[in-house]
Every structure is written in C-alpha cells, then in structure tokens.
Amino acid sequence: MCGFVCLWRCGDEALARRMIDKIAHRGPDAVDVISAGNAPVIMAHCRLSIIGPENGAQPMHQDEDMLVVNGEIYNYTDLRAILGEGRFRTSSDSETILHLHRSDILRWVTRLDGMFSFVLATPERIIAARDPLGIKPLYFARIGDGIALASEIKAFDGIGVDAVEAVPAGSTLDSVTGLQRWFRIPQGAGRAEDGIDEQAVWKELRLVLEEAVRKWMVADVEVGSFLSGGLDSSIIAAIAARQLARRGRRLKTFAVGLKGSADLIAARRVAGHIGSEHFERAFTPEDVAEVLPHVIYHLESADTDLVRSAVPTHFVARLARRHVKAVLTGEGADELFAGYTYHHGYVDRPRELADELTRSLGTMHNINLLRVDRITMAESLEARTPFLDRELVAFAQSIPATLKLRRTDADNPDRTGPTTEKWILRKACDDLLPHDLVWRRKAQFDEGSGSVDALAIALQKMTGADAPLDRAAEGACYKQILCEQYQDPELVLSNAGDWSLGRAIAV
C-alpha cells in the first residue's frame, strides 16, 4: 500500500517532492523521486511494504518504462506464471503490471484482480488506471499541456491548479486516448424465480466468500481484522480466524468505542467465540475533540455522516497499526446484501432494490471507501475489503434481491411482518457465530461505538454552544475545520462525496 505522484509534461522534481511530502503518511517505509531520462515524466512514491518488501521499491524503472502503484494485485502469482517468471526482476506484485502491458494480451488491465491504482509511463504516453470499484484513490489535474496525478487531493493543495478530478472507478486515463471505462458493475437481480434452491445459493455464497477472504489475506506481513461486533466485520474475522488456525496462527482483532458501548461488548464476545487475540480501546469525548481536525483533514470531506463514521475508524486504525500493517474490514456487505435501514422500504419492490444496490455500489469510491482509505492510510495502515472482491461482487449481484431483504414471516398473507436485511448472508454464515449475533439488527458503526454521542459532547465544548449542535450546525463546523487546514479547500470540497445523496427512503 502506498501513495504516489506523477508529473507528465509538467513540473519538476521539486514539485513532485513537495506533492509527495503531503501524502507521505501513506508510505513511511521509503520515499523516492525519479525522473525518466527518455520520457517527459517525473514520478514520486512513498511505500508501505506489504508484498515483496525486500526488492519491490518504487518508482519501478525497467528499460524504457516507469511505474508507480498503490494497492495489491492478488492474482499476481498466476499472472507471473502466465507471463513467464524469467521476465521478472522483483518479487513485487506490482511488477506484473509492467509485463502485462508489454504482452500481446488484449484489454490487459482487465486481467488484474485486486485493489489498485497505478500510472505507467512509456516514452510516448502515460496510462493510469483504477480498480473496478475505486477502492484505491487516484486524482488528476491539468497543468498547461501536461497532467499531474496523485493518490490524494491534498497533494495538489497550494500548487496553483484550478481543478482536480478523480479518475473514475474501473477506468483508465490515457494521455493519448483520454478517459475510458474498462469495468462496469454487473446489474443486480430482482425477484427470485419460482422453485429457486435457496440452500444451494447460500452454500455457494459461503464458498465464494471464504475464497475472497483467503485471497485478500495474501501478504508478506501479518494481516489483522477490524471487529466492531456487527455482522459484517464479525463474518470476515470469523472466516479469517479459521483459515489462520489451519496454519497454526491466531488472528489479531481490533475494536473501539466509548466505555461500555455496544460495539465493545459485542466485539469482545465475538473475539472469544472465534479465538482471536483481541485488542480494544475506549475513547472519550475529550479524545474526539483532540483528533477531530486531524480526522477531517485526512478524510478530505466534511460530510456529516462520513465524519461521524471516520472518528471511530481513526481510533481503531491507530490501535491496529501498533500491531499489524494490514487489516480486513467489512465494507461492501451493506451495498451488496441490502444492509442499510433505508433499504427496508424496498421490501416489496425487489427490482427497485436491486437497482438501488447496483447504484450504491457505484458510489462507494467517494463515500465509505474514501473514508476507509484516507483514515487507515493516515495511520500507515492498509485496509482490505474482501466483500468487494471482484468474483464475490459478481456472484452477489446475481442473487435475487428477494433473498437479500425479506420479511421474517414470509408466509404471512397480509405481508406486514418485520423485514430482515442481509438475509442470505446471515443464512450463509449462521454457523460461524452465536445465533443471536448473526440475527441481531444492524447498528451503524458510529452508533454502536458511541461516537455520535461523543462527537456531540466534543462539538459543544469546542464551539462553546449552550446545547448540542443540530445537524446543519454540525456540518458547518466540520466544513470550517476543513477549510482552515487547506490553502485551496474548494479542490477538496468539490470532490467530496455526500453519503445521503440519492439515497431516498422508499415508502
């Protein structure tokens, strides 16, 4: 996991160094700036070494090509075998991108399986790309006739650009052909066909999920797991713990919250059930007030919901980084399996629910994935999202929406019974955890951890208000904090996502 800067036909090494220094938290293991002698390109890279730590330094300069990468290519061993081991000079997964580009394979970017963003420069052009769902960030700006690219918007702050744009998820940016899509999210399925074998579906889902966790644990360093005590993180941790136990190893899990909060209690119970080595931290409103400017600066957003969930993410990332370099998270399960409260309004409209899940998957890059990437990388921690594995996404999208959100008493003729979100996921993993934990109703991370209450107290103290701030005042406070920390705050605000945008509650 890393951060990078690329200047194509613009700037100099001093500018590249200035930009990479602003995102050096993404990679504390090594920082380097290189100019290509045979191409108008300068690349800078800060590295958090996860795979190939001994010889995977970047920027990677081979023959006439130069490469910077952020992320992980999980099928790199298969690609090395296909491309020929003799071509490779390092054990880094990133090097596969160079040789795929040089091969005769059509649409070579589609062969990459993982979470990634990269820029590849040849003497004639640059090609930048981003993974299917935009798990890893990538931004660009025009400088004269050239292009500047970087892993975070803050790299562009104060350098005089007029606008910054994100390379869309599942897209390439080619200096010759421009922006092009290379991946589209499969359309979700609506109503189940009569006679569908539900048991077969959830058994297959379990296998696909187990394979995703196995794949996303590939690393040359220890991988831990966030554990909020909620369904999604508990499932991932339980599967990971089983897989590690087969190798005689024990999973490390991490939880945070206010003292006595529901998340801490539930996480402790899950950790005991799966046998993980568990670490936890109780934070206070005073702790929240102290870290809030740091969180908002790194989040690159003042969206109220994102800030609320970013606060506990900060505390759990800081806790985890004391013990591991990489962690698994449960992000993506709500978008795949209808886990949000507003989804319940769609229970009798499966086609609309399937369309909404597909739509929300396409917005994750600028909302929850932005939060996870920025806040974990601010602590030099790599976060991995197995639920967003490409094969798992494809399979989950093929599952009818009627199996994701359904009435608990589905046979009730008046169809007025309570609804259960993520039903098929719960069935698939019913044996992994205590029954009551598998079937308990969802609580948002910021609610279960108590961070909303802590934020309310912290903001009241910070502003000197006589009463807790209403939502509008809370959002205005976050925006002010962000603007005070950037020379060009509009670059950030114009790119920031809005969690609630387009999420209408169906009635």
Last residue of a domain, one of 442, 461, 493: 442
> Which pLDDT score is estimated for 362?
96
Within a domain: residue 457?
A: no
> Which pLDDT score is estimated for 409?
61
What is the domain count for the chain?
2
> Which pLDDT score is estimated for 55?
63
Q: Is 2 in the active site?
A: yes
Amino acid identity of residue 182, one-letter, is W
Write the CB contacts of 73 (distance below 8 Å, at least 6 apart in sequence). 79, 93, 94, 96, 97, 112, 113, 114, 116
> Which pLDDT score is estimated for 447?
63
> Which pLDDT score is estimated for 99?
94
> Which pLDDT score is estimated for 1?
66
The model's pTM? 0.94
122: domain CATH number is 3.60.20.10
> Which pLDDT score is estimated for 101?
94
Known binding-site positions: 93, 256
| Catalytic site residue from 2, 10, 429, 477 | 2
Task: Say which residue the tokens 């309004």 belong to.
Answer: 345
> Which pLDDT score is estimated for 133?
97
Known binding-site positions for ATP: 256
Q: What region, left, alpha or beta, does residue 309 occupy, with left being phi > 0 and alpha being psi -120 to 50 degrees? A: alpha
431: domain CATH number is 3.40.50.620
User: In terms of residue numbers, what domain contains 23?
Assistant: 2-181
Closest to 156 in 3D by CA, of 494, 493, 488, 496: 488
* pLDDT per 10-residue tile (average), the chain, 507 residues: 92 96 93 85 90 74 91 94 90 92 92 97 95 98 96 97 97 96 96 92 98 94 95 97 97 96 94 98 96 98 96 98 97 97 94 97 96 97 97 98 84 64 97 91 66 92 93 96 98 89 52
> Which pLDDT score is estimated for 502?
62
Last residue of a domain, one of 421, 442, 463: 442
Rounded Cα distance between 360 and 343, Å, is: 11
Last residue of a domain, one of 424, 442, 460: 442
* 344 and 370 housed in the same domain: yes
Q: Degrees (nearest 5) of the Cα angle 301, 306, 309?
A: 135
How is residue 163 written in tokens?
């606008």
> Which pLDDT score is estimated for 168?
97
> Which pLDDT score is estimated for 507?
35
Distances (CA, A) of 87 to 63, 82, 96, 154, 461: 12, 11, 10, 37, 60
* 171 and 204 housed in the same domain: no
Look at residue 250 and give its three-state secondary structure: coil
* 222 and 143 housed in the same domain: no
Within a domain: residue 292?
A: no
* 216 and 177 housed in the same domain: no
* 433 and 407 housed in the same domain: yes
* 89 and 211 housed in the same domain: no
Known binding-site positions for L-glutamine: 93
Within a domain: residue 290?
A: no
